Amino acid sequence: EAGVAQSPRYKIIEKRQSVAFWCNPISGHATLYWYQQILGQGPKLLIQFQNNGVVDDSQLPKDRFSAERLKGVDSTLKIQPAKLEDSAVYLCASSPLLVSSYNEQFFGPGTRLTVL
Amino acid sequence: AQTVTQSQPEMSVQEAETVTLSCTYDTSESDYYLFWYKQPPSRQMILVIRQEAYKQQNATENRFSVNFQKAAKSFSLKISDSQLGDAAMYFCAYRSANRDDKIIFGKGTRLHILP
């Protein structure tokens, strides 16, 4: 079974530029998460989708960050314009939607963003 | 709001020895999950072990075991017979039992294995 795919693995941009990250979850997984991991900290949830609907985006800085999950499969996370403090690893995770209360989240390799 | 605290930013252990990583958490919920994740330099977050709060028995996965103290809100990870491949960041994490709720991570402990 293929894992969660993310691209690119690395991205370096100037502040005020735009950037987009892509995530392809495990086939059949209904729930998709985007986490931001700043250096020296644990990941923090930015947005959670269930199929193509948003479940939780309470910690997404909506003035500059946006995310979509068209057709309930792939997802893109965009930052426009980027700030220095957006430098971080952006992790995508997915989980199946099962009857039980526990659905394991599977993580992708992340995209390391550096904003200069 | 739930919080997860890891008070050890870095730890070192000799190869083949045993090491314990500490974690405390705060919650008002009675039903939840606790996790330890491993993140090697490749950045891939890997689930090491999971504990359901309603289970009194401590979870074990091969060389990895936990000491879950629900009343004290403590959840430590013991790694026995440490191997070079265990070197990584280890994150303690919490998730409500509400289906598909988000995971809340601690700041992590970097584990070094000394040959």
Q: Residue A66 phi/psi, 5° resolution?
A: -145, 155
A102 touches chain B (CB under 8 A): yes
The rounded distance, in Å, linking the Cα atoms of A100 and A103 is 7
Q: Is B11 on the interface with A (CB under 8 A)?
A: no
Strand bridging mode A53-56 / B19-21: unpaired
* Residues facing B109 on adjacent strands: B90
- Look at B108 and A42 and tell me if their CB atoms are within 8 Å: yes
Instruction: Report yes or no: B43 and A42 within 8 Å, Cβ to Cβ.
Output: no
Backbone φ, ψ for residue A71 (5° rounding): 60, 10
**pLDDT of A71:** 85
Whether the pLDDT of residue B92 is over 80: the answer is yes
* pLDDT surpassing 70 at residue B46: yes
Q: Which of A4, A26, A37, A55 to mutate to test the interface with B (most CBs of B within 10 A)?
A: A37
Segments in chain A below pLDDT 70: 1, 98-101
